[in-house]
Amino acid sequence: MSEPGRDTRLILSDVKVRELAALFGTPLYVLDEGHFRTRIRRYREAFRQAWPECEVTFASKANSTLAVLAIAYEEGCLIDAASEGELRAAIAAGVPTHRCHLHGNNKSFAELEFAFEVGVGQIVVDHFVEIEQIFELQQTYHRCPDLVLRLAPGVDPVTHEKIATGQADTKFGFNIANGAADRAVGVMLGLNLPLVGFHCHIGSQLLDSEAHYAAAEVVAEFAIGQWRRDRFMARVLNLGGGLGVRYLDTDEPPAVEDHCRRLVDGVVEGLGGFNLQPKLVQEPGRALIAESGVTLYRIGAIKTVPIGDGKSRTYLAVDGGLSDNARPALYDAKYSVRGIPADAREEGGEVPVFDDLAPVLDRFTVAGKHCETDTLFADVLLPHDLQVGDYLQVLCTGAYNSSMASNYNRFPRPATVLILEDGTPELVQRRDTWDEMFAREILPQRENR
């Protein structure tokens, strides 16, 4: 787990990069099983030390590769699914449905019905129409999963606006400030629905714990308010995820032990001595899997272009881009990048040594191969003598890269390789085939065709 002053990210050796690229091609997602398991164990233990009655749920939106979900479940995590597709992925990975939660701000009736059919353990309720739909399904199935009410606590975290979700102006949950959350509790209790507690998630990639502390305090205060008003005793407070990771060498996310203690401090402050002992839940996704993954690319075109005032920029074009990492385009995400020499040059000659104690570095902009500007990593320092055919290793890509991948420009989505605990690489998600890419398309029938 990330901690100040210590880099805990997965970094493959140059030899390993060459080996994996030769075996599986590039672009390539690489995950390390042992690294991932260690992160989960540390997070769960840190939370348990801070609040014994606790639970860690893996937010599968971060990476819903079946192998990842299976490992998370084996390590004691529940699985949070934000769609029927993610729920089906968890089931396919062997996760019992009672260990799954269904999330989402606009679940369809069909998604809710599927959750009832398979017997999910919990549904996170997001709006009033959903309450009505759940009540209808309860009458049909004569049973209902546990329900938690998602709250908008009015806490605006310090992060990119595209991944901030806890402020009052948000599409997620029931707003506390305008009374919607109070009304929702009353409606659910009046319908005799199995409400067990409250949920909030304020945003992602937070590099301090102060917003989490504030949100935990608000949610705990809200829970006490419901007891005083309706004598409803919350048994669960789900405080979401959002702990940041070390994308850049200069990032300093809090240690998970400090984060868990701070989160619990917020709950204790909000309870104000009131005799309520709820189960506390966290939903980390990125914080568990991001640093356990890297992405490998191969360098193609290299171009130096003028940018004015006698200055220039050198572009390194790689064999991936927007379709395998949408985050830089979506919200200006930054990454640490390493350059690795290939085994041989097409032109022949010696392989340069890039891992000297003081390599000579130049500034490059790494671009993808899509029909967009498609800047992946702007102005990064890399070995000055990188050449066509060399590799780039991008750190901390275990979260959201694979789950956001697309076929834009008809590029196949990359394969995913899992490095097993004994060091053996195993393919857990193969690269798209051309037949698969076109399998769902139908040409209209015409007389002249």
Q: Strand 78-81 relative to strand 54-59: parallel, antiparallel, unpaired?
A: parallel
pTM value?
A: 0.92
Same domain, 214 and 320: no
Q: Are residues 297 and 276 in the same domain?
A: no
Domain boundary among 259, 284, 309: 284
Residue at 448 is within a domain: no
Is residue 140, in this structure, part of any structural domain at all? Answer: yes
Under 8 Å between Cβ of 103 and 80: yes
Query: How many residues in the chain?
Result: 449
Distance CA 28, CA 300 (A): 15
Confidence at 140, pLDDT banded by 50, 70, 90: very high
428 vs 47: CA distance, rounded Å = 30
Q: What is the DSSP string of 119-153?
A: T-SEEEE-SHHHHHHHHHHHHHHS---EEEEEEE-
Boundary (domain end) residue, out of 284, 302, 319? 284
399 located within any domain? yes
**DSSP structural state of residue 439:** T
Residue 131 placed within a domain: yes
Residues 30 and 55 sit within 8 Å (Cβ to Cβ): no
CATH number where 204 lies: 3.20.20.10
How large is the average pLDDT for residues 104-115? 97
How does residue 163 score in pLDDT terms, banded at 50, 70 and 90?
very low
Is 307 in the same domain as 241? no
> CB-based burial of residue 426 (10 Å sphere; 0-12 exposed, 13-18 middle, 19+ buried)?
exposed
| Domain identity same for 229 and 261 | yes
pLDDT score recorded for residue 278? 96
Q: How many domains does the chain have?
A: 2
Q: What is the C-alpha to C-alpha distance for residues 290 and 396, in angstroms, rounded to an integer?
A: 5
Q: Indicate if 258 and 328 belong to the same structural domain.
A: no
Q: Tens digit of pLDDT for each residue in 174-207?
A: 999 999 999 999 999 999 999 999 999 988 788 8
Domain containing 158 equals 51-284
In a domain? residue 28: no
| 418 and 312 fall within a common domain | yes
Residue 13 is assigned to a structural domain of this protein: no
Q: Catalytic residues, which ones?
A: 371
Band of pLDDT at residue 165, cut at 50, 70 and 90: low
> Are both 302 and 398 inside the same structural domain?
yes
Give the tens place of pLDDT for each residue, 309-348: 989 999 999 999 999 999 999 989 999 999 999 974 444 4
Q: What is the CATH number of the domain that holds 340?
A: 2.40.37.10
Claim to verify: residue 269 and residue 353 sit in the same structural domain = no
Residue 135 shares a structural domain with residue 91: yes
Please list, in sequence order, all residues whose beta carbon lies within 8 angstroms of the beta carbon of residue 95, skipping any fewer than 6 positions away: 69, 70, 73, 79
Mean of pLDDT over the chain:
92
**Boundary residue ending a domain (284, 300, 331):** 284
Q: Are residues 272 and 347 in the same domain?
A: no
pLDDT at 56 > cutoff 70: yes
In a domain, 20, yes or no: no
Residues 6+ apart with CB under 8 A from 281: 54, 55, 56, 57, 199, 236, 237, 238, 239
pLDDT tens profile 345-400: 444 444 555 444 556 889 999 999 999 889 999 999 999 999 999 999 999 999 99
Do the domain assignments include residue 325? yes
pLDDT at 161 over 60: no
Q: What is the pLDDT of residue 372?
A: 87
Is 18 a residue whose pLDDT tops 80?
yes
Q: Are residues 190 and 112 in the same domain?
A: yes
Query: Is 340 found in the same domain as 264?
Result: no
Q: Identify the pLDDT of residue 24.
A: 98
DSSP labels, 382-431: EETT--TT-EEEEES-SSSTTTT---GGGPPPPEEEEE-TTS-EEEEEPP
